[in-house]
Structure 1
Amino acid sequence: MLSPYKLAMSSTTERMCCTECQQFISDDGDTHIHRHKFVRDPKGLRIFLRKMLHRRDLPHTNSLTSYEKSTLESIRNWEPTKQKRALLCGVTYNKQKYKLKGTNNDVISMRELLMSRFHFPSSSIRILAEMGSHPHPSKRNIQEALRWLVKDNQKGDSLVFYFSGHGLRQPDFFDDELDGFDETICPLDFRTAGMIIDNEINDTIVRPLKTGVKLHAIIDSCHSGTILDLPNVYSTKEDRWLDNHPPSGANKGTSGGHAISISACEDNQLAADTSAFSESGRQMEGAMTYTFKKALMEMTETRVTYASLLDSMHRDILAAKRKCFSLRGLFHRERLQEPQLSSSKVFDINDPFEL
């Protein structure tokens, strides 16, 4: 395989081209590429090559040698390097009566986990939060960032959407929900701009997923069980996948990719923001986020599966409830917070968990 910028363009001459400025390069190609901060982008290169084949000063493919044809064909079919991209949203609702104290800590924890355990580059992680210089998690900013997350997704991509904040429910008027309620996430400005409902999230980040792309949504909020509206929900009690297809018959699947959601609780449950897991007893964090990270960091020497991850999270939340008064007070009103797994397609939950 030739390097991404060297192509045999005729039987007598080896030409070089730059995908940054779309110009042919002189013999001093390395200097040119360095000056343009050349990025080896296979997808952009394929598009560029197709354009080049229609230029009048280049021979038509029929006049190329068999070697040149095979070279061009191999580059057209070149599999892109696996790309990782993540969107992390933490909403504290600062200066409001329903303020959450642990969401900033949640975002910091998730960023550290993605970088240390799953090798996400820091440049591929976008954060919306009420801290530092990060853009605020307003409705408009979250909507724009969700589109960014799946933009131009291609085979081999691993995408992550993380949300820590309030979640609510509202009546479903389109017969899309088995329980009659749409689930929502609450942006910082949800009182004025409105909530983001599961139908919109599905349309934005589930439907566009192409074959070979995997999306994991990790949602730490109340009523978040089916927040992505995925058609399959796993029941740990029955040890099987349950059908969650909408009664309306609407398509809630992908465009060939795989979407998986791990939520803090079932649709009719509440999720805790607590200090129960802090050694000092003061640092607030989401119970789901803490137990999710703890399970993955403790099982570094063992094979982590979706099943073992859910089991570990459940055990840690149950143990925290027994010792923490605030969690007991929360859960007497609703059933114990039970992490929920849903998916765009049925798969073996004993498969390894990887982002």
Structure 2
Amino acid sequence: MKTSDFDYHLPPERIAQTPVEPRHASRLLVLHRNTGELEHTIFRNIGQFLTPGDLLVVNQTRVIPARLFARKETGGRVEVLLLRRVDSLTWEGLVGGKRLTRGKRLQVENGPAVEILSDLEGSRRLLRFETPIEEMLPHIGQMPLPPYIHEPLRDPERYQTVYATAPGSAAAPTAGLHFTPELIAELKAQGIGFTTVTLHVGLDTFAPVTEEDPREHTIHTEWCEVLPAAAEAINATRRAGRRIVAVGTTSVRTLETAARNAREGDTVAPFSGPTDLYILPGYTFRAVDAMVTNFHLPRSSLIMLVSAFAGLELTLATYRKAIEMEYRFYSFGDAMLIL
């Protein structure tokens, strides 16, 4: 296995720069793993491919407006991107600019002063604010859109799922962006179940794997949680012979992490904590029967996860067909349903 096996050419014009309105009007490519058959529809029709008793598992994380601007003591402007809250005053973040090392102080525009406590790898820094900043972020922070999106986002809520309730992500779980309250109500009326899990997405989700052998890559760690009620709904679905449908690779990662400690006869166990699960082809899925996902970056750990679920050759062939048929790719792009 080589990282180059997961490469493909994407014309730049296929990268979606703005979201579709309404959300459920995005296109949906349905891939049947057993036969390789492809079907083309719109997301609002996803219920046609689901059966009463199936359970959709969605990630309720909420993106925090964590992109800040600050001034150095010399007056120069720098960008700070908060990644993870350590405590009320301390955050891990990315700091742009030179010579921003331990002990340096910055003044956040319209916010508190912040000191760099330590250098982490690359541009990562451990930061301590003079006063708690979390409640100020909606007023002084900007939404941290992925680096490949160059159009300004008119409505910040379009980079949140409609069910996002748990703040903590540096990026959205984008497969869930296609759901609307109307569609969720329709699916529930059809007998489709919903349950929520939480995984706070880090920016490493966009990072390509740079090692020649993907097995040598150190996967990013993210915090996730499956509460007892969600675990029981998942286990009951499996016992009833119905499908667990993960909405997004983040839900896949959370479910498969929770499956590691499941008791005999159960599919998952309640879980809360960091996960370092790295899913590559050859992985045996324990908790996921079907997957809703967007189209992912070449050489990323996310396309590797999808390839583990659908098969590498079938995944790449499906991506080529999606490019040919002018599907929209990445965070604001169209969706796949893999059955």
Identify the TM-score tier after normalising by the shorter chain: under 0.3
TM-score normalised over the length of structure 2: 0.24
Please identify the structure whose Cα radius of gyration is greater. Answer: 1
TM-score normalised over the length of structure 1: 0.23
User: Which gives a bigger RCO, structure 1 or 2 (Cα 8 Å, sep 6+)?
Assistant: 2
Higher strand residue share: 2
